[in-house]
Amino acid sequence: MKELTKNLRRTIALVAVAIVSTALAQRAVAQDQPDQDDPPSRVARLGQMQGSISFQPAGESEWVEAVRNRPMTTGDKVWADKDSRAELELGAAVIDLDGNTGISFLNLDDRTAQIQLSSGSVSVRVRHLDRDDVFEIDTPNQAFSIFQPGRYRVEASEDGSYTVVSIREGEGESTGNGQTYTVHAGQRATFEGTDTLRAQVENVGAPDDFDSWTDTRDHRTENSRSARYVSHDVVGYEDLDDNGDWNPDPGYGNVWYPHVSAGWAPYHDGHWAWIDPWGWTWVDDAPWGYAPFHYGRWLSIRGRWGWVPGPMEVRPVYAPALVVFVGGGGGGFGGNVGWFPLGPREVYVPSYRVSRGYVNRVNVSNTTVNTTTVTNVYNTTIVNNNTTINNVTYANRNVSGAVTAVPQRSFASAQPVSRSAVRLNAREIASAPMNSRVAVAPTSASVLGPHTNTAKRVAAPPAAVANRPVIAKAAAPPPPVPFAARQQALAAHPGQPIARQEMQRLRPANNAAAAHPQVKQAPPGKPATPTTMVRPGNQPANTPANQPATRPGNPPAANERPGASPAQPNRPVPNNQPAPNNRPEPNRPQPNQPAPNNRPAEPPVKNDRAPAAQPNNRPEPNRPQPNQPAPNNRPAEPPAKNDRAPAAQPNNRPEPNRPQPNQPAPNSRPAEPPARNDRAPAAQPNNRPEPNRAAPQQRNEPAARPSNPPPSERPPQRTPPPAQVRPAQPQQRPLTPEEKKKQDEKKKQDEKPHA
């Protein structure tokens, strides 16, 4: 009995240890994995801009003038007006916008980039795509999913009736109305219809001006010198090439030093904006001012500011601003808000709710730091809900000019910092506490940015385009909550973004109202086969943007469609084949066919020629088709008077019937000698009738070569050059009795002795 009790106690103890160990392990795993409140690790940067570019923040109804280096996330919209262009960078991909184009991010997180394209043209360059990644471009009648890294172009018509997808590299799939079409590299697919999705496929064709512009941008990124020092997922690294120098440092590795004026300091030329779910976000004014302010660390080395990037082998995590705020929890000191940049190996503490795993990732990807140090800071600040940072020595806090401060009102209204900065003395800085969060509530101007006064005065998409729904394959999240609905909650906890669960409660209670009004979910699709189009020979390959080669809704004429009867005029010339010479042709045998009874053909009808206004519209007599005999094929008689092509059509001339190469010519008898003066004009010595013989290889004719005129209209004869005199015919026809008699009489006269 005692032994049984002892074993029972031992078993209970082992079970208890196992339960505790499992709980601790699950807690550790949960802390290392992304939490539902963790924000995305990537955003899109609004980079290069040309012309008139407008911006609408998530959840807002006003369009304002766009600002370069503005981070963009789910719900943000951008519009490129006529003759304008813009570029958005996501690290793993680049999105270029042509004129009259507007896009919105239906979803943008670590795995999904879902873009709404209601009208216009975008070019997408995808550098890498993981197995579980979703990259989707949704238009009014289909959803295009990118499957591979490559170069893609998607064009949505202005009226929303069709979409054109061109793939220069890669592969993708279009989904709409229960059908799917796969598009491969080198193809241009036109998708027409909304109730029924129809597809036509042709070759991509030559690039146009927009393609050339995007190629130039891609070339700049692919040949960047800075790519040797930073991860390729660091957004904006290519801008560092022409604006600074890279130098190695024994203590910090490769350091980038910007070309700036004396007294410059990081986080000084720009403004603060409120962007959910991160909160206060720095937007720099410099053209290169994106990568060094959302990745890496800054350090003053021998009196010069340098930027130290994170490890190249780790995928970087975006941060809104890698700074420490100076001042009390009430929002600053003396009514001001101050900050300074973090240095290498210093821990960034987010002001928004995050998991321990996120704190690890955002730090180890942007600097070399011990994870134990990160955990200690996490426990003393975030876990304890304490924004004040104690017992940490920051390298840049005491550097001259490193701390920048502005009044709270300027901070909250997105005013340029360089215009409103205030001076702080060393005593104020030393006595002020350090915080991970600035307790200042945002305003509407914080969301719209420094160009709030441009609302209602900038270019915006037409209402029909802005309100047009699109087809989506991936489920899009609900639309963002407007700032007016969030403002009260944000004021209750100044400087702290609203958690995701709380944001859900701010949405309308009605599910129908909460659903995305501009997205229609596509039903599951079945593979379908597109129609292959052949581009007519007289149509340029590089059709302009938003103008497909064969625009849906305006089908080509019957005689222009591929597969039309070859006997009909106005037929297209197949690809890679020269246009035929515009001239009437008599019946002649086809290749590899016998030509029995080869006899002279009847002359063409007088003035039987093609109209001058329709060079390819030529009448053709009935002629045998391939693999069919061509009876009664005989040499052609001389052309009738004035039976020639117009001067505007130099190649319009009748040709005598002659056998084709590699064909026998039965019953071929010696040709009659040419009639007197029956030869080509002096300028064209070779233009004369020829006997039946194997046709030589077709050659390019002179630019202006009229057909044989009748003798009465020919120019005066000149003896052709010796090199072009044709040798006499080897055979002579038998003499008639009358000719023989005359020949004998002449011979007798010649034989008589001279007096």
- pLDDT, position 504: 86
- pLDDT, position 748: 75
Contact (CB, 8 A) for 447 and 60: yes
- pLDDT over 90 (residue 736): no
Over range 599-612, report the average pLDDT. Answer: 43
Contact (CB, 8 A) for 185 and 161: no
Dihedral, CA of residue 465, residue 468, residue 474 and residue 480, to nearest 10: 80
Average pLDDT score, the chain:
77
- pLDDT over 50 (residue 210): yes
- pLDDT, position 453: 95
- pLDDT over 60 (residue 734): yes
- pLDDT, position 714: 44
- pLDDT over 60 (residue 589): no
Residue pLDDT, tens place only, 354-390 = 999 999 999 999 999 989 999 888 888 877 667 788 7
- pLDDT, position 195: 82
Over range 235-244, report the average pLDDT. Answer: 97
Over range 1-21, report the average pLDDT. Answer: 49
Using CB atoms within 10 Å of the CB of residue 135, give its burial: 0 to 12 exposed, 13 to 18 middle, 19+ buried. Answer: buried
* Residues facing 194 on adjacent strands: none
DSSP 375: H
Instruction: List, in order, residues 6 or more apart from 391 with CB less than 8 Å away.
Output: none
Q: How far apart are CA 497 and CA 353, in angstroms?
A: 8
* Residues facing 188 on adjacent strands: 166, 202
Using CB atoms within 10 Å of the CB of residue 195, give its burial: 0 to 12 exposed, 13 to 18 middle, 19+ buried. Answer: exposed
- pLDDT, position 7: 55
Contact (CB, 8 A) for 76 and 63: no
Residue pLDDT, tens place only, 455-488 = 999 999 999 999 999 999 999 999 999 999 999 9
- pLDDT, position 206: 93
- pLDDT over 80 (residue 732): no
> Residue 150: which region, alpha, beta or left (left: phi > 0; alpha: psi -120 to 50)?
left
pLDDT band at 5 (very low <50, low <70, confident <90, very high): low
Q: How far apart are CA 402 and CA 519, in angstroms?
A: 47
Q: What percent of the chain has pLDDT over 90?
A: 56
- pLDDT, position 508: 75
- pLDDT, position 702: 41
- pLDDT over 90 (residue 89): yes
- pLDDT over 70 (residue 56): yes
pLDDT band at 241 (very low <50, low <70, confident <90, very high): very high
Which ranges of 506-632 does DSSP label H, i.e. alpha helix?
A: 511-514
Q: What is the CA radius of gyration of the chain?
A: 41
Q: How far apart are CA 5 and CA 658, in angstroms?
A: 116
pLDDT band at 536 (very low <50, low <70, confident <90, very high): low
For residue 65, give the nearest of 474, 376, 460, 365 by alpha carbon: 460
Over range 634-656, report the average pLDDT. Answer: 43
Over range 18-37, report the average pLDDT. Answer: 47
* Residues facing 247 on adjacent strands: 255
Q: How far apart are CA 200 and CA 195, in angstroms?
A: 16
For residue 311, give the nearest of 254, 257, 265, 241 by alpha carbon: 254
Contact (CB, 8 A) for 440 and 405: no
pLDDT band at 266 (very low <50, low <70, confident <90, very high): very high
Over range 27-56, report the average pLDDT. Answer: 80
- pLDDT, position 679: 43
φ, ψ of residue 80 to 5 degrees: the values are -100, 115
Residue pLDDT, tens place only, 385-432 = 677 887 789 999 999 999 999 999 999 999 999 999 998 888 888 888
Over range 558-572, report the average pLDDT. Answer: 36
- pLDDT, position 8: 52
From the centroid of its chain, how far is CA 562? Answer: 29
- pLDDT, position 572: 39
Over range 442-451, report the average pLDDT. Answer: 97
Over range 622-636, report the average pLDDT. Answer: 44
For residue 341, give the nearest of 284, 309, 296, 281 by alpha carbon: 296
Over range 434-460, report the average pLDDT. Answer: 95
- Structural domain boundaries of the chain? 44-218+457-478, 233-450
For residue 93, give the nearest of 108, 103, 76 by alpha carbon: 108
DSSP 666: T
- Give 123-156 as a DSSP string: EEEE----TT-EEEEEETTEEEEE-SSEEEEEEE
- pLDDT over 90 (residue 597): no
What CATH number is given for 44-218+457-478 in this structure? 2.60.120.1440
Contact (CB, 8 A) for 90 and 44: yes
- pLDDT, position 10: 54
Q: How big is the CA angle at 640 (ends 634 and 643), to the nearest 5 degrees?
A: 110
Indicate the pairing of strand 112-126 with strand 134-139: parallel
